[in-house]
């Protein structure tokens, strides 16, 4: 029973870190979108409107978009149950990106007000401790995976090397502001 419990905790830690890693990998694309869209104007307007809110209204402004988008994940499950795999997976990905994107955007703006709410600040502290714990729990596994990846890189060209090289080129192109389909 103890080994099952430990394995479940490890899976939870890995899921938590996978989510954080995925967002870190999406940063170049998000920065590119920020350059393409009138992001500065949108952010300035949102900050102006949201900065006048009291703490509890800021909490509501933080939760409502999440509550509106989250039901799309149930729609994705329904689509999967109907045998519409591509539609279900695509709906889930879009809902997840919208939920996380809106939450990150609003949290960045509303964080000072949200941290004045005691239970919210306590929960945020707990979440940060959970993140540190997840890093600690998965450190040996991540080290093994890095070692395996290093061995694969040393073995020669192959498909993985070309794929990694293409992904790095795409990421660099996005960082330069060219976008995914731009050719230099």
pLDDT, tens only, 67-126: 888 888 889 989 989 999 899 888 888 888 778 778 878 888 899 999 999 999 999 999
Q: Which tens digit of pLDDT belongs to each residue from 57-74?
A: 999 988 888 888 888 888
Q: Integer distance in angstroms from the first to the last C-alpha of the chain?
A: 57
- Determine the Cα angle at 105 with ends 65 and 68, to 5°: 10
Structural domain spans, the chain: 1-37+138-184, 41-116
pLDDT for the residue 140: 84
Q: Is the pLDDT of residue 23 over 70?
A: no
pTM (whole model) above 0.75: no
Q: What is the reported pLDDT for 146? A: 79
Contact 24, 135 (CB under 8 A): no
Question: pLDDT tens for residues 125-170?
Answer: 998 898 888 888 878 877 887 787 777 766 655 666 677 777 788 8
Q: Between 116 and 42, where is the model more confident?
A: 116
CA pair distance 46, 110, nearest whole angstrom: 10
């Amino acid at each position: 029973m103890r080994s099952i419990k430990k394995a479940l905790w490890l899976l939870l830690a890995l899921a938590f870190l996978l989510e954080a890693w995925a967002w870190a990998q999406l940063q170049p694309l998000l920065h590119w979108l920020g350059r393409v869209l009138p992001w500065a104007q949108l952010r300035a307007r949102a900050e102006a409107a949201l900065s006048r809110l009291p703490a509890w209204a800021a909490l509501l402004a933080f939760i409502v978009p999440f509550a509106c988008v989250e039901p799309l994940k149930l729609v994705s499950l329904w689509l999967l149950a109907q045998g519409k795999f591509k539609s279900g997976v695509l709906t889930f990905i879009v809902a997840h990106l919208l939920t996380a994107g809106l939450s990150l955007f609003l949290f960045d703006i509303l964080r000072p007000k949200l941290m004045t709410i005691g239970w919210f600040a306590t929960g945020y502290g707990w979440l940060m401790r959970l993140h540190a714990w997840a890093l600690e729990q998965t450190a040996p596994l991540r080290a093994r995976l890095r070692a395996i990846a290093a061995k694969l890189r040393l073995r020669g060209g192959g498909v993985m090397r070309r794929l990694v090289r293409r992904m790095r080129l795409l990421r660099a192109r996005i960082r330069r502001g060219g976008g995914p389909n731009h050719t230099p």
